[in-house]
Amino acid sequence: HPPPVATDKEQQKRLLENRPDQPQQPKVLRIAIIGAPNAGKSTLSNQLLGRKVFPVSKKVHTTRCKARGVITHEDTQLIILDTPGLTNPLKAKRHNLDEAMLTDPWDSMKHADLVLVLVDVSDHWTRNSLSKEVLKCLSQFPHIPSVLVLNKVDILKKKFLLLEIATDLTEGIVNGKKLEVKSSALKQDSRSSAKLPLRVTQASPPESKVPGSPFGQEKNQAQVGSGLDRSSDVGGAGTGEGPKHHGPKDLKDMKGWPHFQEIFMLAALHGEEVDTLKRYLLMQAKPGPWEFHSNVLTSQSPQEICDNIIREKVLEYLPLEVPYGVTQVTDVWEEGECGELLIVQSLLVPRESHKRMLIGRGGKVISRIAREAGQDLMNAFLCEVRLKLQVEVK
């Protein structure tokens, strides 16, 4: 079971400063998760960690800062760099975002050993090409191995579309081999309940080359019927040359990235196939010192987790741009007589009309936010939490 987050700021600080209790031959892997805003990066991070410490909402830019999640499994430590969605200065201005939102994903890339590029396949506007920001990011760091993760596959009714999406997003090349779509796979009845490409991500037997890797299973290819066949070698990863640097001119014509090492298909919200990806990540870890003590789950302070989770609910229940103007102030943070955590937070809004929206008729909205946020905080801290929210016009 993943450890809880300490409720006391000083205790969490001590934990973060503690010398890692690493084994004799420790292994480590730093993973940057990048993608367009709202692709499901934080949801995937929470599922990998096994406890909710990153805020999640349907609105864009829920994640405001780069925070680390830590998974310690036996002799291996995975460090997840949950990054804000890659955005551009124009959108950053519209959503009142900090300068850091534009630089944090790039900073995370500098420290990563592996990049997961997350794509929401349920969004038919964006699913067939990587955003310019993502392509730019990958082309700046071509030496860092990257893996494509197709998320929200459970929402996609026509499963055969996954093959088309995978081909577009990889430019038809994975791990230096050409992908070929077998016509038989595309003739499958789109209404059939067979999760055709999902079955590709079953972990392969231990003796095979890369356990848990969906397309590293040439042996099982026929029986899995993934419809994707890696045939001929084409330069790049397969030939050991490594990807070449792509200039701005190349990127203009590119829809996908031809240097992904693997493709995974999952539904992060329901945890479908997340374990397969986790096993693969553990296998990719290299010998190296741990960064954190095994009792650390995240680098965030308890107050940051609390602020983020309340903010998530405010984003969820307020319309349009309104939630982006809310300021949070923690008035009380103390331990009660029975060990419960007492938190009182003021939500400051710029207008009286926003106050009415946030409180809701008969106080319904604000009490729902307090109830749901309190529940999430109990799961993060593993203790009783009593949360009181008050709304004021600033």
Contact assessment for residue 235 and residue 258, using Cβ atoms and an 8 Å cutoff: no
| Confidence band, pLDDT 50/70/90 cuts, at residue 160 | confident
Contacts made by residues 91-100, CB under 8 angstroms, sequence distance 24+? 95/60, 95/61, 95/321, 95/324, 96/324, 96/325, 97/61, 97/64, 98/64, 100/64, 100/65, 100/66
pLDDT recorded at residue 66: 62
Write down the domain spans for the chain.
Answer: 9-181+253-287, 302-393
Topology at the third CATH level for domain 9-181+253-287? Rossmann fold (3.40.50)
| Of 81, 128, 121, the residue nearest 265 (C-alpha) | 121
The answer, yes or no, to whether residue 257 has pLDDT greater than 60, is: yes
Mean pLDDT of 265-282: 94
Provide, rounded to the nearest whole percent, the portion of the chain with pLDDT above 70.
73
User: What tokens does 11 get?
Assistant: 């205790």
- 302-393 shares the fold of 9-181+253-287: no
Distance CA 332, CA 344 (A): 5
pLDDT recorded at residue 202: 33
SS3 for 41? Answer: helix
Higher-confidence residue of 112 and 111: namely: 112
Q: Note the CATH architecture for domain 302-393.
A: 2-Layer Sandwich (3.30)
Handedness of CA 299, 302, 307, 313 (dihedral sign): positive
Model-level pTM?
0.80
